[in-house]
Structure 1
Amino acid sequence: MEKSVELKSHAKSSVFEKEQVCVVETEEKVKYFIMTGFAIILLLSSFLFNHPSEIVQGFLDIVVSPSILVSDYMVIGNVGASFFNAGILMLLSIYLAYKNKVNMNGPIMAAAFTVAGFALFGKNIFNIWPVIIGVYLRSLYAKEKFSKFILPALFGTALGPLVSQVSFGYDLGHIPAILLGCAIGVSAGFLLPPLANHFIKFHQGFNLYNIGFTCGIVGMLFMAFFRSFDLENPATLIVAEGFNKTFTIYLSLFFGIMLIAGFFSNNRSFKRYSWVLKHSGRLVSDFVSLNGFGLSLINMALLGYLSMGYVLIVGGELNGPIIGGIFTIVGFGAFGKHTKNVLPLFLGVYLASLFQIWDANSTGALLAALFGTTLAPIAGAYGWSFGIIAGIVHMTMVMNVGFLHGGMNLYNNGFSGGFVAAILTPLFDSLNRFKGDAES
């Protein structure tokens, strides 16, 4: 009798577990479907801006460009080709995650939107693959599944310009240069995972762009070798102008769709958004796991509107790099950033521009404000005043570190953010302890 009861209990347990697995699988399919939808919107919207033949030609121009910072693909190719490139690369990112059976969680969503954003100014269908292959070879060397290395592979494509500049920027001969560029990209990708795991200790998780910091170190290493052979990168600032009205409408609609998707995914409600705001954002803060997919989408959409609003309020231009910055913030709305912890960084960078040599609406200052939100966990953990200080310091730092990697690392703000976090957080800890000692 007891054995019969045990068998029935085991059967019920097995049925329950199967039902739970089915529910999880269904939820993951919905997440992948929605994320794929955003990528398809980017891809198809390219045809709103240019004729297919123009997109093809612009796409080819993008592929063979050196792509070092800051190279706006809307100028190098055209607007349609840029969005086509963004859509293709975002779809590839999602496919790689799906193929390797990775859950559509906060880090993957952040990676997909970051890749899409930088596909507007630095990443393309050619220069990302050597880095991804290098990371894949590292997974084989470590005898681990590639799924464990998917984030370094996707975020590591920040080193795309390393491939493109060697292939097309140094006049080394077409075939030899391309082969050398690909070999260097594979080597860089192979180096990334162990370095990324190590460097997170450097900034204690207060720099969300940890791979960006790692890529800065790797880019600095290779740039030092290049300079020893008298190979230097030109200072590059290619940006589009005059698209504010068009892109304001476009992005407003895009984030509106995202907000609606979040509303329905959150049981047709905006409730419990305050839950998201309670997190500091310090690595690793997966908002999808902590608060749900729907609330993450809502947060992402609100961050999109907030970021775009900042650019327009200070009189900036919406172009490839700036939209790339906005998309990156949006992506990290699922992985550490929310409206409460990014605002102090915006304010800090803006205040810095009032007494420093950079205008608030210049491309460099806007990129510092947008990508400087990599330090959002500082504001989340220590408070607004400390976040403002971090923004001011970051503005100063980021304008000076780009020379070290020669524009080879697209995540220059992540590189700077690592140093800023490493410098400030011990100081902030000491101030907090001093305050606590005084009160006691």
Structure 2
Amino acid sequence: MKKQRYYFSTQHLNLILLSFIPCLLIILGFLIDSPKEIFKGLYDLVIAPDILLTDYLAVGGIGATFLNAGILGLLCISIVYFLKISLTGPLIAAILTVIGFSFIGKNVGNVWPILVGGLLYCRHKKIEFKTILTPILFATTLAPAVSEIAFGLNLSYYISIPLGIGTGILIGFIIIPIALHIVHFHSGYNLYNMGFVGGIIGTLITSLIQGFGFSIRTQSILSTEYSVFMKYLLIFISVFYLIVGYIMNDRSFKGYSDVLKSSGHALGDFTERFGFGLAYINIGIMGLICIFYVLLTKGVFNGPIVAGIVTVMAFAPFGKHPRNSIPIFIGVYLAAIIKIFNASSTTVIMAALFGTALAPIAGSYGCIAGIVAGFLHVSVVANVFQIHNGLNLYNNGFSCGIVAGIMVPVLEAFFKKEKK
């Protein structure tokens, strides 16, 4: 009984700590903007085309964006609570990723159909919804497909909205078995497997839409006015988790060296292997490293950059740490210097942040392999976007799947002895 009580108290504590970000965002949203501005902005987010790159800070304003992110974050946490699901590194990654992408494409209107599709899949397979909660949350990468079909094709809303909802439900229904099959292509060396899956399904949806004579207008809507505020907010959140982790880990960094020795491959759950204290420490440290990189490259803290930083923090309990992620940053930065890319542009900084999905390559095969992976990723991600026209929010995950799928067999064949 004592052990059971301890489990539930620890579970509740972690849910409260995870709720810190969405609650903070909702409070700040109403402190910054008036309710009228917030709800008007939230409506604008729901009906806006959400394909990459759509910065919600520019579309709906900071108050509406914060409320949107807060609601989706609390929705995910509430599902975990009511289904009595144990928090794990992958589940934390999924929840924080949803919060991060609530700044650039996921909203209170377009994620529901995919979740409903996942629920129907569970009923068809006669399994519990909690068994697929983590991957179905990641599957909301295709939420822009729901919005684009519902509001972006210039059809009557009587036709387009049901069609968009139906498409989202179908995506949620079929994406789990596809994801389980595709993971073998990159052997788990791409942490954003659902981004790779989303890229493939997004390509199919784009082809069908264009095949019926409709066009998907790509866009790049970015904000600049909230950069300073977002920078300090991200620093505050990172330091918060760093301090919380330090306290939970008996007021020490003891054991963090073991985290740094992990390759990040084979679905490494840091909460299970090293404890929640060290996982929170790693979240804080990875957040600060990302912020430093953006400052180093003189980038702007807009919606996409915020999404990138929060996503890196999301995977800090599930595969990423400074030792296997920094080589990816170096590779991207070198590519920007040598090639035609601008290191301070939002897209290149996003490539560096999201490119850390390839961290297991650096963790398994060494720093040089990680640098090469980052170097290759910049060129690939700049081109694969055109295949799905932004319907897949995890475009970098799509690119990382391609890079890992090519690099890993070569590394296995010629450098297997060096693998750690």
TM-score, with length taken from structure 2: 0.97
Partner of 1:411: 394
SS at match of 1:304: helix
Take 1:290 and 1:297, find their aligned partners in 2: how far apart are those partners?
Answer: 13
Q: Distance in 2 between the 1:433 and 1:318 partners?
A: 40
Equivalent in 35, 40, 51 of residue 57 of structure 1: 40
Could you tell me which runs of 5 or more consecutive residues in structure 1 were left unpaired when the two chains were aligned.
Answer: 1-17
User: Which amino acid in 1 is paired with 2:283?
Assistant: M
CA distance 1:174–1:359, shift in 2 (3 Å): same
One-letter amino acid of the structure 2 residue matched with residue 90 of structure 1: G
1:134-192 Cα offsets, whole Å, 9 max, x none, are 11111111110001110121101111100000011111111211100000010011111
**Residue matched to 1:300:** 283
Which of the residues 205, 212, 234 maps onto 1:222?
205
SS in 2 for 1:333: coil
User: Which residue identity lines up with residue 259 of structure 1 in the other structure?
Assistant: L
Residue 304 of structure 2 corresponds to residue 321 of structure 1: yes
C-alpha distance in structure 2 between counterparts of 1:433 and 1:414, whole Å: 25
Q: Deviations over 1:190-235 (max 9, x none)?
A: 1110011111111000000011111111111111111111222112
Contact 2:111 2:140 in 1 (8 A): yes
Q: Is the 8 A contact 1:340 1:380 kept in 2?
A: yes
Report Cα offsets for 1:384-409 as digits up to 9, x if no partner: 00000000111111111111111111
Q: Please list, as runs of the form range in 1=range in 2, the aligned pairs for 1:9-408 lying within 5 A after superposition.
A: 18-408=1-391
- Show CA shifts across 1:101-122 (max 9, x none): 2111101111111000000010
Superposition RMSD on alpha carbons, in Å? 1.3
Q: Does residue 1:429 correspond to 2:412, yes or no?
A: yes
In 2 relative to 1, CA 148–434 (structure 1 residues): closer, same or farther, beyond 3 Å?
Answer: closer
Distance 1:105 1:284 in 2: 11
TM-score normalised by structure 1 residue count:
0.93
CA contact (8 A) 1:207 1:414 kept: yes
SS at match of 1:334: coil
Amino acid at match of 2:82: K
- Counterpart for residue 8 of structure 1: none
User: How far 1:433 sits from its partner (Å)?
Assistant: 4.1
Q: Contact 1:242–1:317 at 8 Å: present in 2 too? A: no
> Helix, strand or coil for the counterpart of 1:240?
coil
Given that 1:208 and 1:283 are in contact with CA atoms closer than 8 Å, whether structure 2 keeps it comes out as no
Q: Which amino acid counterpart does residue 304 of structure 1 have in structure 2? A: G
Partner of 1:6 in structure 2? none
More displaced 10-residue stretch of structure 1: 313-322 or 20-29: 20-29
CA contact (8 A) 2:94 2:135 kept: no
The CA deviation at 1:38 is 2.4
- 1:19 Cα offset (Å): 2.2
Greater shift after overlay, 33-42 or 327-336? 33-42
Aligned length: 419
Counterpart-to-counterpart distance in 1, 2:252 and 2:226:
34
- The C-alpha deviation readout for 1:265-318, integer Å capped at 9, x for no partner, is 212222211111111111311110111111101100110010011011101100
Secondary structure at 2:235's aligned position in 1?
Answer: helix
> What residue identity is the alignment partner of 2:170?
S
Q: Within 2, Cα distance between the matches of 1:133 and 1:434?
A: 46
Q: Which amino acid aligns with 1:240?
A: S
* Offset of residue 52 of structure 1: 2.1
- What CA distance in whole angstroms lies between the structure 1 residues aligned with 2:334 and 2:17? 38
Q: Deviations over 1:306-336 (max 9, x none)?
A: 0011011101100111000000000100111
Q: Distance in 1 between matches of 2:10 and 2:153?
A: 48
**The structure with more radius of gyration:** 1
Q: Distance in 1 between matches of 2:417 and 2:354?
A: 31
Kindly indicate whether the alpha-carbon contact (under 8 Å) linking 2:365 and 2:418 is maintained by their aligned counterparts in 1. Answer: no
The whole-number CA distance in structure 2 between the counterparts of 1:287 and 1:83 is 29
Do the aligned residues in 2 keep the contact of 1:66 with 1:167 (CA within 8 Å)? Answer: no
- Cα gap change, 1:103/1:435 in structure 2, threshold over 3 Å: closer, same or farther? closer
SS of structure 1 residue aligned to 2:316: helix
Paired with 2:32 and 2:397, the residues of 1 have a C-alpha distance of 31
